[in-house]
Chains A and B, each alone.
Chain A
Amino acid sequence: MPKKDNPKNPHNPPTDPTPPPEPTPSNGNIVIDPVTRIEGHLRVETAVAGGRVSSAWSTSPLFRGVEPILKNRDPRDAWMFTQRLCGVCTYVHGITSIRSVEDAIGVAIPEQARLIRNLLMGAQWIHDHIVHFYQLHLLDWVDITSALTADPAGAASADRQISSARNRSAAYFDGVKQRLQTFAGGGQLGPFANGYWGHPAYLLSPEENLVMMANYLEALRVQIDAAHMHGILAGKNPHPHGMIVGGVPLNKDLTSNRIGEFAGVSNKARDFVNNYYLPDATWLAARYSDYATIGGTENLMSFGEFPLGAAEPDSLYFPRGAIFNRQTSAVQPVDTGQISEHVTHSWYSGSARHPSRGQTVPDYTGINTADRYSWIKAPRYQGQPMEVGPLARVLINYGKGHGATVQVVNAFLQKAGMSLAGMYSTLGRTAARAIETKVIADVMSTWVGQLSPSPGGSEMPFRSTFTMPDAGSGVALNEAPRGALGHWLNYSGGKISNYQMVVPSTWNFGPRDSANVPGPVEQALIDTPVADESKPLEVLRVVHSFDPCIACAVHVFDPKNNQRFKVQAL
């Protein structure tokens, strides 16, 4: 195609830009940049001593600045913008924004809308967790080149051992093997090129590797069904648009056939979770038992999710709470007034503040791990770094005696040969994701039965009407698939004056705080073994277990003076 400009669409490419900063001087540290198989952009640097990580730094190198874009807009439009923080957890930032507006204006939503929202959120978790395990995380544990040498009959036998619900033939596995060989044989490995294949930390047999690769391919299909759930209840996925302040807009299309369609795809996803995802995660946990002592953190927090009524946090199906120093049985209540965001090691000037009074002045100085090194701030709760996400939710549920969770966790621990203490680890985090997917897929089958078709004829029966006060402020707390999410909104004259978001990957991937205490991922990486510094597979395992989702983690808003920012490109 000729590279010819369209005269009707003139443009002015930027010329003579400021040169970018010099690369960080090499000090022997291992730098992984880009970290792939994640959402967004992430750089991880580790110092290694004696074959183990002695220090780690997490850097987000992308700044999009969504919050200043929100200023002066109609708060009821904000969800469209915040939804674009992330196209992976695509429902979550939208609904949290909507709920912050509903909190500000004091509108209660209809019961059916609450139900539909819970189903949409549940579908989001199921989709995200399946994709994370198979597409984003599995290749850290599974060597595709080993799978190419597998005996298909042996794979069929291993398959039945992993889950008795499966009965796939040697011919099936031979087909998978041939499909994988089309990459290797053709010389174009495509997305599988240049992995850390053959690394000594890969422990599965060729047959186990082939089974897992077969499920990698199966999961590609199943996640499509999971996304289908959003299509049915909210128009499309990613970025479902069937959302509105006051409830849900879905009216005409919610027929009993559609509800049946939803039940069909959600049951299919549930079967996959029961017969593939959870058994595969359990199997990996048993085969990689070393990782039950690698990659843990000390403190966990969850805002809770799935309101079963109007009262929060009392009606939440997954409770709100915090665990300090791994004291699983001593879950503390959460007071969001005790959240602060530190910027000492982030590319902003200013001091630690509560998000409702957040102030951010970008001040880029290049990566200097001794000083500032990330666009992510460092949020702290009661001054402590907190891990958020599936592990936090599952252990907080466990500590609070959440029946369904306790049952699935205990069954997992028994099969994997792990103790509850072992959950504070890379394996625990990866398993917790599968465990909660089962809990949610199970309860969703009950919720689907409570859906009733749109009555038809009336105008938007699942939406409460409201009058918009001229000014207000609101807060919404949710659980994204990756963890605790809060939106803080202030508006006046009908326009947004301040909007702050503290998102899961800010908690998990934030840098050191003003007391130089590392963030959760930075802590988790300490003591991770590294067998081959040119192939830091073990580091990737720990980082991926957090399911990094970075695009949403970076945002800025200066409520006082939107223009007051400076950039120093060194």
Chain B
Amino acid sequence: MSYTAIEVDHVTKRFKRQTGGPGSFMERFLSVGRGSSVEFNALDDVAFDVAAGQTVGILGHNGSGKSTMLKCISGTIRPSEGAVRVRGSMSALLELGAGFHPDLTGRENVYLNGSILGFSKEQITEMIDDIIDFSEIPNFIDTQVKNYSSGMFARLGFAVAVNLKPDVLLIDEVLAVGDEAFQRKCLERVRGFQRDGRTIVLVTHSPDMVRLFCDKAVVLDSGKMIYCGEPHDGVVVYRDALEARTGIRHGDGTPTELNKNQRDTVSLVGVSVDPPADGGESHHPGQTIRIRVRFTSTESIPAIRLAIWLYSHDGIMVSNFSSADILGHDLLDIEPGVSEVEIVVDDLPLLQGSFEVTAALQDVQETFEYDRAEAPTSFSVTSGGTSSGRVRLKTSISHQQLEPGAIDPVRPAEASA
């Protein structure tokens, strides 16, 4: 049955910005929660609908208001103007295990979390076996949650959120939990949700996720909705907005200005690609390129992981690797101050087109990110030859004459596949 699952009806959310000196205590005491002082709009007249069964991706740079949007949808903050209407039960995969109490066992927490999401004890009892199976921690389910590893904690949180089968699922960049196999399982579950006709809201700054999973994209920029519609076009709008915002130029080797937030100790200063050695405009297949990542740290850190993503301009991920993949271990002994990492890509396997590099600094368990390049750095590759495409394959070729009748006729079934 088709109906509107989520209606975001001209939502504006104003926040007060901290101003200089605080007023008198009484003044502040009396004005709590009432409008006063300098305000800014975290969301500015945002309106869109999500039909039941749709998956919508909310894209936006940091501070664009996408998390505020999600909080308005989940009801944890109240819009200043407008309203959000949601049909059906809702479960948020925001911070996994947000409702878990460390002193209770996994099982007790499942029941508690379930009732927070509005499910009855009977409903949870029906599902508890699935939840335990999914979490892959059956031996620990009756152990206090404080003894869990962060991975186990997140698994159980995810297992609860997805197995309670809410009508509407809110996801906020949390799919990067656990090992790869578990991640695949999570994504598979998200696919299952889509097949069941449940509604999903995905908040992300990964265009890949939007393209892969969503039926609809909403792009926010400084609290305003600048696009609502097809995911593909949405990604383009998002990238254009990012470029306009950061003013990056393509491939000139200048570090892009990046955002600096998340964990304060380490911040990414810039990602750059050295200009072609021959002084030309673009790189050529087979050459060596050097990617430089500069970051600052305010304290000594024993180990840090640098992750690099390489995209083609239309958003297909060409490669994702980390310092650990190259070195076999992480970047060690980071001292306070500025560090520069140089990644050398020999024998460039790219063929033609504009490519984008982006980077993130993570802790070695990949449980959190210190910082992430908000805007990618571009460089272009041109091939002199007649071949086209994104990747240069190392090929060899041979040719021989065969006897007549040596080749099997192609079977019809295979031909049509």
- A in complex with B: no
Point out residues on B near A: beta carbons under 8 Å: none
